[in-house]
């Protein structure tokens, strides 16, 4: 069965990242279309009862939704849940890191696509790098580790910062994970989405650092390396050049109440109003159908019509 559930609590985001959505944003769901926390919790409990061991809270940007700390606190109480994590852009993490840790959050992943303040604004369109750096430090201080940085490289925009991110991993003693860019509706119609391959990034980092492969106990798809003599780690999530669909154990709950068996899926089930047993039956059916696909790689049939903020990053 599924082992990993990603829960999007909102489609709202305080950034407009160039690889996620068009510059003028996306059409937001009406507030009454977004699941209440009270609706999400029984679904998540049912998922854990079917075998889910890890829950990741996502968005949009989850920290823009009111009540997020209390929601995390309720998730932390779920019997059988082994790992509770959250992905954020870090802009508000300075004020939320300690309360989230106290509520029961285990770890955070922070999306950072540039370490240059001006380039950071170019990519996020309205972000402030200083806010995010304070958020990273707050997460480390609160014990939300190992802190992981998610970085999407875009040709001719931030690919010159590969070594800067490796240096940052060493300096801060954290993990930087390079994610091959996927096509979403931020991309011009009909144009192939340019990306930087894992092979290219590895070759660049090896000009400065030795890398040792290591296995990380998780349900994620990353290829992981340690940098000897430091606490720095480098990871790769390479859906374009090293597809991992055949290993995927992820299920997604969107903020609008749909269970999706795949980020790339055009098929989902609206579970709002269902009782626990009905939700479990849907999860079992989705798992069976996903297994029957025998999918080797993403075809990105659905991603062109969606933004990450709507599906859940």
For 163-181, the pLDDT digits (tens) are 999 999 999 999 999 998 8
Q: Output the pTM of the full model.
A: 0.89
Q: What is the pLDDT of residues 94-103, one digit of tens each?
A: 999 999 999 9
Domain 4-311: give its CATH architecture: Alpha-Beta Barrel (3.20)
Q: What is the pLDDT of residue 152?
A: 94
pLDDT band at 239 (very low <50, low <70, confident <90, very high): confident
Report pLDDT for 268: 86
Find the helix or strand (DSSP H, E) in which 204 lies: helix 198-205
Band of the pLDDT at 271, cuts 50, 70, 90? very high
Pairing of strands 212-214, 223-226: antiparallel
257: which DSSP letter?
S
Handedness of CA 44, 46, 49, 52 (dihedral sign): negative
pLDDT, one tens digit per residue, over 29-87 is: 777 889 999 999 999 999 999 999 999 999 999 999 999 999 999 999 999 999 999 99
Distances 246 to 86, 219, 221, 222 between C-alpha atoms, Å: 24, 13, 10, 14
Would you place residue 244 in the very low, low, confident or very high pLDDT band (cuts 50, 70, 90)? low
198-217 residue pLDDT tens = 999 999 999 999 999 998 87
pLDDT at 114: 98
Torsion of CA 115, 120, 126, 130, to 10 degrees: 20
């Amino acid at each position: 069965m599924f082992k990993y559930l990603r829960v999007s609590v909102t489609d709202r985001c305080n950034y407009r990242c160039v690889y996620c959505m068009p510059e003028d944003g996306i059409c937001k769901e009406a507030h009454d279309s977004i699941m209440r926390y009270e609706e999400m919790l029984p679904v998540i409990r049912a998922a854990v009862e079917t075998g889910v061991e890890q829950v990741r809270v996502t968005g949009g940007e989850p920290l823009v939704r009111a009540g997020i700390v209390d929601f995390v606190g309720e998730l932390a109480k779920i019997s059988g849940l082994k790992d509770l994590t959250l992905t954020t852009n870090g802009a508000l993490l300075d004020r939320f890191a300690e309360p989230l840790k106290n509520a029961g959050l285990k770890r955070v992943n922070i999306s950072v696509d540039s370490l240059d303040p001006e380039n950071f604004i170019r990519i996020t369109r309205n972000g402030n790098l200083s806010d995010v750096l304070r958020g990273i430090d707050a997460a480390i201080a609160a014990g939300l580790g190992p802190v992981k940085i998610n970085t999407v490289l875009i040709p001719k925009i931030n690919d010159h910062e590969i070594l800067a991110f490796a240096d940052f991993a060493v300096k801060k003693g954290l993990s930087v994970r390079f994610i091959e860019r996927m096509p979403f509706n931020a991309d011009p119609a009909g144009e192939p989405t340019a990306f930087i391959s894992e092979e290219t990034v590895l070759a660049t980092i090896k000009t400065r650092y030795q890398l040792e492969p290591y296995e990380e106990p998780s349900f994620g798809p990353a290829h992981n390396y340690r940098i000897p003599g430091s606490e720095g780690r480098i990871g790769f999530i390479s859906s374009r050049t090293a597809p991992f669909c055949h290993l995927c154990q992820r299920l997604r709950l969107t903020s609008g109440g749909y269970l999706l068996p795949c980020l790339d899926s055009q098929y989902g089930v609206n579970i709002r109003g269902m009782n626990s047993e009905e939700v479990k039956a849907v999860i079992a059916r989705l798992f069976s159908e996903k297994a029957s696909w025998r999918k080797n790689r993403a075809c990105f049939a659905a991603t062109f019509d969606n933004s990450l903020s709507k599906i859940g990053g």
